[in-house]
Chains A and B, each alone.
Chain A
Amino acid sequence: MSKPENKPDVGKVFLEEVTRPPVNERVRGWQRVGRVLLVPALAVVTGLLLGAVLIILTSESVWEAFRVSLGSGLVTAWNTIVQAYTALFTGALGDPVRIVQAFQSGDALEIRRALNPIPESLVNATPYIFAGLAVALGFRSGLFNIGVEGQLFMGAAAATYVGYAVKGLPGFIHMPLAFLAGALGGAVWGFIPGWLKAKTGGHEVINTIMMNWIAFRLTEWLLGGPMTRPGSGGLPISPMIEKTAEIPQFFPAPIRFHLGFFIALGMAWLVHWLLFKTTWGFDLRTVGANPNAARYAGMNITRNIILAMTLSGALAGMAGANQILAVNRSMALGLSPGYGFDSIALALLGNSTPVGVILSSLLFGALRNGATRMELLRIPNDIVSIIQALILVFVAAPAIIRTIYRVKVPKEAEEAVFVGSWGGGNK
C-alpha cells in the first residue's frame, strides 16, 4: 500500500488544473457553453495565426517575392496563407463549390470524393477519442497514464492476432471478439503499472513509460517473428486480418467512415456514466482528488488504482484495435503517429471530460485530415503538428490567452476553484 502524500506536489497541482470544473455549476445554458469554450476557441485562433506566420516564414516563394518588392512580398504572403488555410479547411470539412459541381455532374465517385472530407475527419478523430478517454479517465482518478501509446500497441497486436488467427467465425462474433481482445491487450498493459503503483508504490509515470518501451520492442519482435506474414521473408508486418474481423465501413471507397466512430462515442458516454453517475466512479474520482479523504471514507484505494489503470489501458487498447480492424487491416510498426502522447494533450484540452475529449479529438482529427490538402501545396504537414502544439500551449497556459485578449476571469469561476469539489460536473 502506498503512503499517501501529505503535501501537494507539482503533479497534484497539475491534476487539479486539468480536472477542475471550468465554470461554476450555477451558470447554465449558452452562457456556460460560451465560458467553457472561450479560452480553447481563442487558443485555436491564436494557434492558427501563429501557424500562418510560420507558413510565411518557411515559404520560399514568399521570400523570393519579398526580394522583388515589399508589395509583392506582402501579396504573395497573403495569398500563400489564404491558399494554405483554404486547403486546410476544405480538406477537413469539404469544399461547397466542389460538392455542388459533383452533384451536378451526377458521377457517384465524384460525389463520394467531394463529400469525403467530413467522414475522413471523423475517421482521423476516432483513435484520438479512444486514447483521449484513456488519459482522461486516468487524470480523473489521479493517475498519469503516460503508457497509452504502449497499451495501444499491445491492443493492436492482440486484435490483429485474433483478427487473422481465428478463422471461420461469423462477422458479428469475430469482429467484437477481436475488438475485445484489443481492449484486453491494453488492459493487461495498464493493469501491470496499476498493480505496481497500488502494491509497491512504484510511480505510474515511470512504470508506464517503461511499459511503453517493452510494448514497442515486444511488438517489433512479434511482427518480425511469430506474427510475421508467411512468405514475406520475415518482413515486420502481420498477415491481413480476416474479412469477418473487420469493423464495417458504411460507404463505398474512398469513404472510410466506419462503425468504430460510434463505438468511440459509446465509450465516451460509458466513461461519463461511470465517472459521474455511479458510486464506482465517485470512488475513482475521490481517490484521485484526495486519497486521504478517500481512505478516511473507507474506500479501497488499492482496488481503485488498479481498476482505473486497467480501464484506462483497455480504452487505449481499443484505440489500437480500432485502427487495425477498421482502417489498417494488418499490423506494421508505423501504426501510430503518437496517438498515445497526443492524447495526453487532448485530455488536457478537453478538461478531462468525455465531451471535452470528443470535441478536442474532432478538432485534431480535422486538422490532421486537412493537412493532406495543405501538403499538396508543398506546405509541410508538420506545420499542422506545430499548430496543434501551439493550441495546447495556449490551453495549458490560459493566462497567456487571457492576457492577450484581456479576458477577465469570471468571478464565480474563481470562487469555484477554491470551493471546488472533486472533478467537474459533480452530482
Chain B
Amino acid sequence: MKKLSLFLAVVVVLSLVLSACQPAATTQAPAAKKKICQVTDTGGIDDKSFNATAWKGAEMAQKELGWEAKYLESKEVADYEKNINAFLEEKCDLIVTVGFLLGDATKALAEANPNAKFSIVDFSYDPPVANVVGQVFATDEAAFLAGYLAAGMTKTGKVGTFGGLSIPTVTIFMDGFTRGVKYYNQLKGTNVEVLGYDLNDPNKGLFTNSFDDQTKGKEFGITLMDEGADIIMPVAGPVGLGTAAAVKERGNALIIGVDSDWYLTAPDYADITLTSVMKFMDVTTFNVAKSVEDGTFKGGTNVVGTLANGGVGLAPYHNLDSKVPAELKSEIEQLKKDIIDGKIKLADIK
C-alpha cells in the first residue's frame, strides 16, 4: 500500500518536473508536406490484403515523393464517413479509401467536397465521380497465366480454387485461372479439370463466405486435395494460409498465392508456393499520388492495372524454379506478350 502511494507520488512529481521541460519539444511546425491519407475498411491496416498493400503505396509516396502518409482504421461502417471527414479537415492532398465497402461514403463526401482529391482502391464508379480515381485490376490476365502454369504442372490432372465470397473482385481470379487451364487443354489436347469454379455459373463455385477463418481454408484445402487437386489457388485473403498449412501437411500438392507474392509475405510456405497472382495496389496507389504531385491527377477516371502496365503480374517461381520445365516457362512468357498485344482475348476462351 505504502509503495503504491509512493509510486503515485513519484508520478505526480515527475509529471510536474517534466511538464516544465515540455514546451521545448512540442512546437515543431512541420514544413508544408503534401499528405496522402488512407482510410481502411474494417479489415484494418495490417490485413495482409488490400488495406496493407495500398498502405505500402502510401509509404512509397512518403519515401519517394517526400509526402506525409497517414491512416485511420475503421471499426464499423459509421467510421467511414467520420474518418474521411477527419482527413478533409486535415486538408489531405489525396485521400485513399479501400474497397467497395467505402464506395458510398467516398462518393458522398467526394461530391460534397469537389476540391478534394480521392482515389478508391479495388473499386470504380459508373457513372464516374468527378474527383475520384478508381483503381481496378484486370486480375484475370495474371490469373490466366497461373491457370496455364497449373495445368502444365499438375500430375493428377486436377487443379482447384475457391473464393472468399462470390463477388466480382474475387471471382475474376477464379475466372482467369479457369480460362488459363482451358486454354492449355485446347492447345495441348489435355483434359485438366478445374475444381471449385464454373465459368458458366460463378455462384456455383466454392466459397468460404469468410475472409478470416483459416480453419475453413484448411478444410477446403483438404477437400480439394481429397478430390484429387494437386495445385490450389485460394482467393480469400488470409483464409488461404489455412489451405497452405493443409497442403504443407500432406506434402504432395502446391498452392498459388494471391494479391501479393506469398513467397515473401508467407515465408513459412515458400517451399510449396508455385507462384502468386499479384495485384500491385501499392503501385497504382503510388501512381495516383504521383499524378497529384505532377499536377496530372485526373478525377473521374479509372486506373486499370493490367499485365501491360505492370498493375497485375505473376510472381517468380522462387524455390520451385527448377521444377518448372523451361518450355512451360517460355510458353508463359509468350502468353504474357500475346495478352499484352491483344492477340489472345480471355473472353474468347471457353
Bound-complex Cα distance A327 to B79 (A): 9
Q: Are A224 and B165 in contact (CB under 8 A)?
A: yes
A225-273 contacts to B (CB < 8 Å): 232-237, 240, 253-254, 256
Contact across chains for A233 and B18 when beta carbons are under 8 A apart: no
Residues 175-217 of B contacting A (Cβ, < 8 Å): 203, 209
Rounded to whole angstroms, the CA-CA distance of A152 and B320 in the bound complex is 50
A232 to B24, CA, bound (A): 54
Q: Residue B261 at the A interface, CB < 8 A?
A: no
Is A8 in the interface zone, CB < 8 Å from B?
no
State whether A82 touches B22 (Cβ < 8 A): yes
How far apart are the CA atoms of A193 and B127 in the complex, in Å? 46
Residues of A within 8 A of B1 (CB): 403, 406
Contacts of B104 on A, CB cut-off 8 Å?
237, 240, 329-330
The CA of A10 and the CA of B231, in the complex, are separated in Å by 52
Among the stretches B83-91, B281-289, B297-305, the one at the interface with A is B83-91
- The answer on a CB contact under 8 Å between B112 and A253 is yes
B82 at the interface (CB under 8 A from A): yes
Whether the pair B166, A334 counts as a contact (CB closer than 8 A) is no
A352-381: contact bitstring with B at CB < 8 Å (1 yes, 0 no)? 000000000000000001001101100001
CA distance A232 to B78 in the complex (A): 21
Asked whether, in the complex, the Cβ of B82 is within 8 Å of the Cβ of A372, the reply is yes
- The listed residue with most B CB atoms (<10 A of its CB), out of A240, A323, A334, is A334
A113 & B75 in contact (Cβ 8 Å cutoff): no
* Bound-state Cα–Cα, A381 to B78, Å: 15
Is there an interface contact between A328 and B89, defined as CB atoms closer than 8 Å?
A: no
Is B154 part of the contact surface with A, judged by Cβ < 8 Å?
no
Q: Given A330-B104, A334-B77, is A375 in contact with B72 using a C-beta cutoff of 8 Å?
A: yes
In the complex, A340 Cα to B150 Cα: how many Å?
A: 46
**Which residues of B lie under 8 Å from residue A373 when comparing CB positions?**
86
A224 to B165, CA, bound (A): 9
Q: Which B residues are in CB contact (< 8 Å) with A256?
A: 81-82
Q: Which of A310-350 contact B (CB under 8 A)?
A: 323, 327-330, 332, 334-337
CB distance from B344 to the nearest CB of A (A): 24
Given A332-B77, A334-B77, A335-B77: A235 and B167 interface contact (C-beta under 8 Å): yes
- Asked if A220 is at the interface (CB within 8 A of a chain B CB), the reply is yes
Q: Are B25 and A79 neighbours in the complex by a CB distance under 8 Å?
A: yes
Once the chains are docked, how many angstroms separate the CA of A329 from the CA of B109? 14
- Select from chain A the residue with minimum beta-carbon distance to B78: A327
Judge whether A68 is part of the interface by a CB distance below 8 angstroms.
no
List A contacts of B90 (CB < 8 A).
376
Contact of A220 among B18, B72, B89, B209 (CB under 8 A): B209
Provide the A60-88 mask, 1 if CB < 8 A to any CB of B, else 0.
00000000000000111011001100000
Measured between C-beta atoms, what is the minimum distance from B217 to chain A in Å?
A: 18
Q: Which of A124, A224, A375, A381 is B166 in contact with, Cβ under 8 Å?
A: A224
**A395 CA to B78 CA, complexed, in Å:** 28
- CA of A148 to CA of B78 in the docked complex: distance in angstroms? 18
For B166, list chain A residues within 8 Å (CB): 224, 234
Query: Complex formed: what's the CA distance from A123 to B76 in Å?
Result: 13
Say whether, besides A78-B15, A235-B100, A120 and B82 are in contact (CB < 8 Å). yes
Q: Say whether A404 faces chain B, with CB atoms less than 8 Å apart.
A: yes
**Most chain A beta carbons < 10 A, residue from B24, B78, B166:** B78
Q: A74-B18, A79-B22, A79-B26 are in contact. Are A372 and B167 (CB under 8 A)?
A: no
Cα of A239 to Cα of B88 in the assembled complex, Å: 26
Alpha-carbon gap, A76 to B22, bound state (A): 9
The answer to whether A328 and B78 touch (CB under 8 A), given A79-B26, A235-B100, A372-B72, is: yes
Contact (Cβ within 8 A) A254 B88: yes
Distance in Å from the Cβ of A55 to the closest Cβ of chain B? 14
Chain B residue numbers with a CB within 8 Å of A82 are 19, 22, 26
- Residues of chain A contacted by B83 (CB below 8 angstroms): 372
Query: A78 contacts B19, CB within 8 Å?
Result: yes
Contacts of B86 in A (CB 8 A): 372-373, 376
Cβ of A113 and Cβ of B73 under 8 Å apart?
Answer: no
Q: A79-B22, A236-B165 are in contact. Are A328 and B77 (CB under 8 A)?
A: yes
Q: Give B88's nearest chain A residue, CB to CB.
A: A254
Complex formed: what's the CA distance from A112 to B296 in Å? Answer: 32
Q: Which residues of A contact B70 (CB under 8 A)?
A: 376
Please tell me if the beta carbons of B101 and A381 are within 8 angstroms of each other in the complex.
no
Q: How far is the CA of A124 from the CA of B70 in the complex (A)?
A: 23
**CA A328 – CA B82 in complex, angstroms?**
11
B101 engages A332 (CB within 8 Å)? yes
CA distance A334 to B76 in the complex (A): 5
Q: Which residue of A lies closest to B104 (CB)?
A: A330
Give the residue among B25, B73, B166 with the most A Cβ atoms within 10 A: B25
Beta-carbon nearest neighbor of A254 in chain B: B85
Does the CB pair A78–B42 fall under 8 Å?
no
Residue numbers in B under 8 Å from A74 (CB-CB): 14, 18
Closest B residue to A110 by CB, please name it.
B89
Q: Complex Cα distance A337/B167, Å?
A: 23
A75 to B104, CA, bound (A): 44
Per-position 1/0 for B32-51, Cβ under 8 A of A: 00000000011000000000
A75–B21 CB distance below 8 A = yes
| C-alpha gap A427/B88 in the complex (Å) | 52
Within B301-326, the residues touching A (CB, 8 Å) are none
Residues of B within 8 A of A123 (CB): 78
List 26 A-B pairs, Cβ < 8 Å.
Answer: A49-B11, A78-B22, A79-B22, A83-B26, A113-B89, A120-B82, A220-B209, A224-B165, A224-B166, A234-B167, A234-B168, A235-B168, A236-B165, A237-B103, A240-B104, A330-B104, A332-B77, A335-B76, A336-B76, A337-B75, A337-B76, A337-B79, A372-B82, A375-B72, A376-B70, A403-B1
The 7 closest A-B pairs by CB, nearest first: A334-B42, A78-B18, A337-B75, A337-B76, A233-B168, A254-B85, A327-B78
Binding site for A on B (CB under 8 A): 1, 4, 11, 14-15, 18-19, 21-22, 24-26, 41-42, 70, 72-79, 81-83, 85-86, 88-90, 100-101, 103-104, 112, 165-168, 203, 209
User: Residues on A close to B: CB < 8 A?
Assistant: 49, 74-76, 78-79, 82-83, 113, 120, 123-124, 220, 224, 232-237, 240, 253-254, 256, 323, 327-330, 332, 334-337, 369, 372-373, 375-376, 381, 403-404, 406
